[in-house]
Structure 1
Amino acid sequence: MRKIIAIIALLVLFTVAAMADTLYLKNGSVLKGNFIGYENGLFIFEINNGNRLKLRPSEVLKLVIERDTVADNRPVPDAGNPNRPNWENFPAVDVKLEEQWYRTRINLMRGQRVRVSSTGTITLDGRTQTGPEGLSGKRDPDAPMPDQNDGGLVAVIGQDPNAPMIFIGRSNEFVADRDGVLYFTVNHWETRDARGSFRVNVSADRNLSSVPVGPDSGNVGQVPSRGSEKTVTVPSTQQWTDTGIDLEPNMTLDIVAEGNIELSSRYRSTPDGNRDVIANTASFPLQGEGAGALVAKIRYRDGRESNVVLIGSRSTPKTEQGEYGRLFLGINDDFLRDNKGSYTVRIRW
């Protein structure tokens, strides 16, 4: 009896699988089921026994959405063609002219086709107005893309300072050349007296494209050194300070710190630490370095934390492959209540 039930269940599974989405993994596995979505940098895929799998982009070779092609059991043109677009529309966002890039919640994969359209008006300097297409024939040499229209809409994928930028204008369609979060900014350097915003709509093809991935001719440039910048105050009376900066793999930071703090009535310290008072017990965040030094750690998404590292007055750390988390800055001290002062830390990425 059990064998009969097992055979019936297997036949039902095969029948359902014939109408399911197909996920091809780089290890050679082929999964049938339903593609639920792409959330927090992971594929959510429900296999036919009801279990949901969470897969990293690095594990996935190709995703084919098939359930739309078999509706009502009627043949559909191009059914089974993995390159047939299956567009997912994301909520619209408002992009202002600000110092920092606008970080969307859209995680893209290398080879994914993306459509962006935009409307709205921004006043650049209190007088000059422009739409997302920018000012035709006018250039800003300090803008993110100095060879494109001043004031136009610009995008980039991920936080790698060497990532190519994409001029969007009112609309553009491109193929993602890397995995990462989609960012937007306005192609203008000076942010003072800026008003208004661009309303931006994004759609992404849930099927990975077979189109060769490369720079979009005429519309790419290098991310400027400005990138994003944030200044954080790190008080000496607090062990750890949340910078509010979310880190991604292969992300390079430029951290510059200044200021002086009092560790007690006897000792003072700069961000490099007081070398006359070396941390030598486990109660200090980082042993072997001077008391009062500026240190850092990453709190990962799963709650784990990285090793504590020295930042000092200047450091350019780079995250490793697979590192997603929040950056925290701290004071290398084991007794904080009698401390005074703070460090001012500028972080660029």
Structure 2
Amino acid sequence: MKKAMTVCCVVAVLLICGAALGDTIRMKNGSVIKGKVVSFSQGEFTVVIETGSGRSRAILNVSDIDEIQFDDAQSGDGRSVSISPRIDSASGPSGQGSQPEIKQQRAPQTDKADEREMAEVKTEARVPNVRSVVISVPAREDWVSTGLRIRRGQRIRISASGQITLSKGERTGPDGVNSDDRDKLMPDRPTGALVAVVGDDNDDFIFIGKEAEFVAKRDGILFLNINASDLKDNSGAFTAQIQVELSGAQPR
């Protein structure tokens, strides 16, 4: 019963905030995603996200979300709605007891130009269908699975943030540092940088760094790793946001 009430509450808030834009989605791993929540179905939110190459549609599982703040800039009362899903500690394996906390707060006023720009987002026919996940990539863990099964021809975008410390004591972000490591996965790329591979049976590594976009050349699970030969003494982790265009797969 509580679970049903939770879904009803979420859907009701989405209906109230249908014209919202600039929504803030806070993930449980600490990442923050900016976009527009457009729907909720079967435990997943669909969010329109602005990217460097245009707009894309991301699908976020409710279990990965800590809080969503809806910025209802077009409403007359200028308020925003915030939902914080919280799990009752008494809940059993059935998952019952989830109850959202709903807050209301004053949002900043917007001018007419902002409202016109927000209205343009409603042209969603050109927005590609995208699967989006946010994962942590520990610096001492070898090949972290994203859980995403990639099809040949799909376009993948990955952006990363965070700091790690390498075994020699060097600190670096996802772009890596110029440090001697002849046995690293990609010898011609910076040490400690974020790299990827599709499938677990090949060495066709892909340099990601802080941000990269590529088209998959084969089918397989997408894995992420640190470009270094010795991982056991590393510390810290990168946070990677991954977007996969679902419509780009080529038939086998």
| TM-score normalised by the chain length of structure 2 | 0.50
Aligned mates of 2:205, 2:174 — CA distance in 1: 15
Asked if 1:335 corresponds to 2:221, the answer is: no
Asked if 1:318 corresponds to 2:223, the answer is: no
Q: Is the 8 A contact 2:167 2:232 kept in 1?
A: no
Q: Which has the higher helix share?
A: 2
Aligned mates of 1:129, 1:144 — CA distance in 2: 11
Cα displacement (A) at 1:129 = 8.1
Secondary structure of residue in 2 paired with 1:245: strand
Secondary structure of residue in 2 paired with 1:316: strand
Deviations 1:99-130 (CA, angstroms, capped at 9, x unpaired): xxxxxxxxxxxxxxxxxxxxxx74335xx289
Q: Is the 8 A contact 2:161 2:238 kept in 1?
A: yes
Q: Is the 8 A contact 1:285 1:308 kept in 2?
A: yes
Aligned residues: 167
Deviations 1:109-168 (CA, angstroms, capped at 9, x unpaired): xxxxxxxxxxxx74335xx289xxx89xx95455676xxxx76899x9xxxx99xx9xxx
Asked if 1:222 corresponds to 2:119, the answer is: no
Tell me the residue number matched to 2:166.
Answer: 263
From 230, 239, 250, give the equivalent of 1:344: 239
Q: Is the 8 A contact 1:144 1:224 kept in 2?
A: no
Deviations 1:253-298 (CA, angstroms, capped at 9, x unpaired): 22111222222344232211111x1443xx3211111211111101
From 186, 192, 196, give the equivalent of 1:296: 196
1:80-119 matched pairs, under 5 angstroms: none
Q: Is the 8 A contact 2:184 2:227 kept in 1?
A: yes
Q: Is the 8 A contact 1:278 1:289 kept in 2?
A: no
Tell me the residue number matched to 1:240.
Answer: 143
Deviations 1:34-65 (CA, angstroms, capped at 9, x unpaired): xxxxxxxxxxxxxxxxxxxxxxxxxxxxxxxx
CA RMSD of aligned residues (A): 4.5
From 2, 10, 13, give the equivalent of 1:124: 10
Deviations 1:70-91 (CA, angstroms, capped at 9, x unpaired): xxxxxxxxxxxxxxxxxxxxxx
Which one-letter code corresponds to 1:316 in the other structure? E
From 162, 176, 200, give the equivalent of 1:273: 176
Aligned mates of 2:188, 2:229 — CA distance in 1: 13
Asked if 1:287 corresponds to 2:187, the answer is: yes
| TM-score normalised by the chain length of structure 1 | 0.38
Which one-letter code corresponds to 1:295 in the other structure? V
Aligned mates of 2:174, 2:164 — CA distance in 1: 9
Cα displacement (A) at 1:331 = 0.9
Larger relative contact order (C-alpha < 8 A, sep ≥ 6)? 2
Cα displacement (A) at 1:193 = 5.8
Question: 1:140–1:340: structure 2 CA closer, same or farther, 3 Å change rule?
Answer: same
Aligned mates of 1:254, 1:327 — CA distance in 2: 12
Aligned identity (percent) is 23
1:5-20 matched pairs, under 5 angstroms: none
Question: 1:184–1:315: structure 2 CA closer, same or farther, 3 Å change rule?
Answer: closer
**Which ranges in structure 1 are unaligned for 5 or more consecutive residues?**
1-95, 97-120, 166-182, 197-219
